[in-house]
Structure 1
Amino acid sequence: MPDTQLGCTKMFRFHKTLDVLTLFHSPRSEASNRVLSALKTASTAAEESSASSGVSRNASGEKKQMFELDVVEGPMTTAQLRSILDYVGENKVGEIVEGARGVHDAMKILDGTKGVDAIKRPIVVDWNNGRVVLGEKQSALQQLVESLPKS
């Protein structure tokens, strides 16, 4: 007898959506290009493993983290900056926006003509879990990817 929920036959199951990692990227930055390469490698390995077996697993047979990679070369919005500062703390504003001594400064710089160039890239944001990696910290980046929910 089929499972019923509120008198309806349960015919399908909802699949969990992938976590989104956003890379605020500058193609002119070697560090940013290395971070992009590392994220693409991690994402591709998970996708290939999933496609061949139906389940994403690493070489030792453990499930792998899968995520959607969003690469942003354009300006960061003030809402995105506010969220990132909520994740890392307002005391890190100078590590994100060049020349900013506080949140008000950062917002003014972001809204100004130097907004795109003022952001110190690379910045990787895990919006689903509220985590950020500033710069090219490979161990922090690896830890962020490995801590994503496994598929």
Structure 2
Amino acid sequence: MLPTLSRMGIWSKLFGEANSKNIVTLFHEPASASSVRALNLLKQAQANASTTTTIDQASDNSAQADAAHVEVEFDVQVDPPTSDQVWTILEYMGAENAGKVIEGAKDEDGALKKFKANHNSFIKPTLVDWCGGKVVVGDNQSEILRLLRESRSAEPEE
């Protein structure tokens, strides 16, 4: 099986979507305070991204040009991910981090078995940059902002 990023590049070329947006998904649990904090941070970052000029940048628009070349589409999902999405997330994080995504998991195979047996074992909030291959589990503000900054500064893989 081809790596996920390569598959996405193939589909983009096949269907002429070379300039497609980076997609960042938040798997969200509305009843969880940490998930609500992560969602609010995403909303704030999205609002800030649409207003790219600050007083310091008013006379120099080079920073705006750099920041504006990649659009990021935010997707908030309350439903659990699919098994394929979990597999991709585990691939991004590495086998040693399976327990950070699926409660009680020690490796990728165990994580997938636990998830298939109980979808609630998937830990939320989980933020995934599908094009950049990055994942943040939890509401760590600096990690979330870094993921968003990196997803805006790099073109999707081709």
- Tell me the TM-score range normalised by the shorter chain: 0.7 to 0.9
Runs in 1 of length 4+ with deviation above 3 angstroms? none
Could you tell me how far apart the structure 2 residues matched to 1:131 and 1:111 are? 23
Tell me, what secondary structure is at the counterpart of 2:152?
coil
Q: Report if aligned partners of 1:43, 1:68 keep a CA contact under 8 Å in 2.
A: no
**Does residue 120 in structure 1 map to residue 114 in structure 2?**
no
* Matched length: 128
Larger gyration radius, structure 1 or structure 2: 1
Give matches, 1:1-151, under 5 Å: 16-47=19-50, 49=51, 57-59=52-54, 60=57, 61=61, 62-63=63-64, 64=67, 66-112=71-117, 114-115=118-119, 117-150=120-153
Tell me, what secondary structure is at the counterpart of 2:74?
strand
Structure 1: any 5+ residue segments left out of the alignment? 1-13, 50-56
Structure number having the greater helix percentage = 2
Could you tell me how far apart the structure 2 residues matched to 1:77 and 1:36 are? 20
Using structure 2 for the length normalisation, give the TM-score.
Answer: 0.72
Could you tell me how far apart the structure 2 residues matched to 1:75 and 1:101 are? 20
How far off its partner does 1:37 sit?
0.6
Structure 2: any 5+ residue segments left out of the alignment? 1-16
Alignment identity in percent? Answer: 31
Letter in 1 for 2:94: G
Could you tell me how far apart the structure 1 residues matched to 2:53 and 2:18 are? 21
- The 1:24/1:90 distance shift into structure 2, 3 A limit, reads same
Using structure 1 for the length normalisation, give the TM-score.
Answer: 0.75
Question: Which one has more relative contact order, counting CA pairs under 8 Å at least 6 apart?
Answer: 2
Could you tell me how far apart the structure 2 residues matched to 1:25 and 1:72 are? 6
Tell me, what secondary structure is at the counterpart of 2:24?
strand
